[in-house]
Amino acid sequence: MIRNRKIGTKLLMSFSLIIIFTSLLISVLSYKITSNVLEKNLKIYSDEYLAQLSRNLENTLEDLNDDLFNSLSRTGLLNRKILHLFMNEANQNNDLLGLDFNRRVSEVLASNVSVKAILIQSIYQQSYFQRDPQVSIDIEQLHKVLSDNTQRYAVLRNLNERYVVIIKPLFDLSNTQLIGHAAIVVEQTYFTNEFKKNQTYKEWEVLILDKNEVIIAENEAIRPIHDYISKEIASSGKVQHVFDYNNKAYMVNVVTSPKKQIRVMNIIPMDSVTRASNRLLVVIVWACMGALLSSFVIALVTTAGFSKNIKILVDNIRSFKDGQFDTSVEINSNDEIGLISHEFNKMTKEINHLITEVYHEQLLKEKARKESIKFEYDALQAKMNPHFLYNILESINGMAKIQGNHEISEVVCLLGELLRDSISDERTNIFLEDELAYTEKYLALKQITSKNNIEVVYDIDEILLGAVVPKFILQPIVENAIVHGISKQLKKGKIYIKCGEINGDLVLEVQDNGLGFNQDKLPTVDNKQGRWQRTRVGIKSIDKRLKILFGNAYGVEIHSEEGKGTLVKLRMPYRTDIDSERGGH
């Protein structure tokens, strides 16, 4: 099967079939086109040749008529009285006048060597016949031809296979009245000599026609073909330009002379055309065979190089399959095999790189697994510690109440509630109302520990209490204001907590009257040297958290003035659905 053969063999077979098909197609088309062109040119040349031949024959006939006219005029036979006198005396066997008349007719015969006999007939049906002694002509046949054509001018008629007869009317020179007719017998060679002037195509057969009758044919063997053509014309009214006769193809062409006196037919064997086409076909076939051989050699060399590159590629693929991942194909070509080799080399490099990455990734996973186990242990321990602390705080609270120390009891209760809120609520998003409650507990604890040295002012629209915010987003900002702003001054501290909705965004503001700092020296939120970065959570983590959740358009904005305090703004989308989150978490 072809599908199981090597690609080089397939390509070689494909190239060979393409070359053979192309050669055959070129040969057939060239042969057909050449044959058509030769046939067309042959028809054109035949038309031109017959047109020229018909003119020449017509001129020959006119020259003969002129010679006869001059001879008849010179001998006085174109005078009605003289002709009538001679005809009467000749018929009455008048020797003297008969000899004179015979002499005059002999001069007419001598005017052209091709004229072999003459029959003169007056309008009174008197006739006189004279011929070359070496010529045998049936006078009765001549009378018959003359009687059938007396109404026409200079009629050319076939007499037999050697002679033709020209029927010429005789007019009186003095009054142009018709006085009789002359039937002049002329050798056919007088006209066929014109045929022989064409030496280009010796196989052409030419006939002179009048009506549907053959008058002159140089080759008498062509007459049966003419008879066949005449039957075709008689039965169908036309004849094909190319026809078959006795299993042989011929081309026929007919041209009428300018003065309509002669029709010339040309019958050409198509063998003369096909021989030239066949010679050209042989040349084309040999040329195609040479091209086929050359192309086959070129295709063989090309496919050999192609197959060699494929073998190199296959060997390297097998080496790669056996575990030699550093295999590299060296093929210096820009064709498809070269492209595949280049991509194969890229693939091996990528696979080697991936193998290395997978190996390192496995090492990292193993390390991460161990760290995860440690983290789970630490998390469990960390979870146990807050519960333990919460229980201890409850015990301290009970002891403070028993001893009547209500301030310590309140501090312990607030601290316990803060600790409980941080470990019991696992939600990442809470309502603004819950976040404010957690912040209030923290502020209440700080007021107790600072002897009420902190005043807190809230400006919260109750409609916004149902807004959803990330958990622990406000308390670290308040803690930062107390630790780094208010606690470092002697005057009473004030904190303003404001919440508003601007263009679909929720904006939380925390402003203090603490120390502040120079706005020109304000570090960026990402600057690790800023004082606010040293809180437990830090403004940086809050800003990063907001950007991760909602995008870079949201986050923390800081405004501060040295000696007057600091304003921190938190911007996030205004949301009311507790389950909706933008970004990822």
Task: Please answer whether residues 281 and 29 qualify as being in contact, where contact means their C-beta atoms are separated by less than 8 angstroms.
Answer: no
Residue range 151-160: mean pLDDT, rounded: 64
Residue 152 has pLDDT above 70, yes or no: no
Residue 104 has pLDDT above 90, yes or no: no
Residue range 305-319: mean pLDDT, rounded: 77
d(CA 370, CA 231): 115
Mapping DSSP onto H, E and C, the string for 125-152 reads CCEEEEECCCCCCCHHHHHHHHHHCCCC
pLDDT tens figures, 177-213: 888 888 888 887 777 777 666 555 566 777 777 654 6
* pLDDT tier at 585, thresholds 50, 70, 90: very low
Of residues 298 and 1, which shows the higher confidence score? 298
Q: Considering only CA atoms, which of 134, 126, 221 is closest in space to residue 185? A: 134
Q: Considering only CA atoms, which of 145, 152, 168 is closest in space to residue 215? A: 145
pLDDT tens figures, 480-538: 888 888 887 878 889 999 999 999 999 999 999 988 877 665 555 544 444 444 443 47
Residue range 358-372: mean pLDDT, rounded: 80
pLDDT tens figures, 235-245: 555 555 777 77
pLDDT tens figures, 243-282: 777 888 888 878 887 877 777 887 888 777 677 677 777 8
What pLDDT, on a 0 to 100 scale, did the predictor assign at position 251? 81
Q: Considering only CA atoms, which of 301, 309, 305, 302 is closest in space to residue 342? A: 309
d(CA 461, CA 484): 28
Beta bridge partners of 454: 493
Q: Which residues contact 101 (CB under 8 A, 6 or more apart)?
A: 86, 87, 89, 90, 128
d(CA 489, CA 315): 82
What pLDDT, on a 0 to 100 scale, did the predictor assign at position 92? 57
Of residues 362 and 578, which shows the higher confidence score? 362
Give the sign of the dihedral formed by CA 195, CA 200, CA 203, CA 209.
negative
* pLDDT tier at 1, thresholds 50, 70, 90: low
pLDDT tens figures, 434-467: 999 989 988 888 888 777 788 999 999 899 999 9
Domains of the chain, start order:
6-272 (no CATH), 451-573 (3.30.565.10)
* pLDDT tier at 556, thresholds 50, 70, 90: very high
pLDDT tens figures, 74-93: 777 777 777 777 776 665 55
Of residues 48 and 557, which shows the higher confidence score? 557
Q: Please give the structure tokens belonging to residue 253.
A: 């062409």
* pLDDT tier at 584, thresholds 50, 70, 90: very low
* pLDDT tier at 468, thresholds 50, 70, 90: very high
Task: Please answer whether residues 57 and 191 qualify as being in contact, where contact means their C-beta atoms are separated by less than 8 angstroms.
Answer: yes
Task: Please answer whether residues 499 and 464 qualify as being in contact, where contact means their C-beta atoms are separated by less than 8 angstroms.
Answer: yes
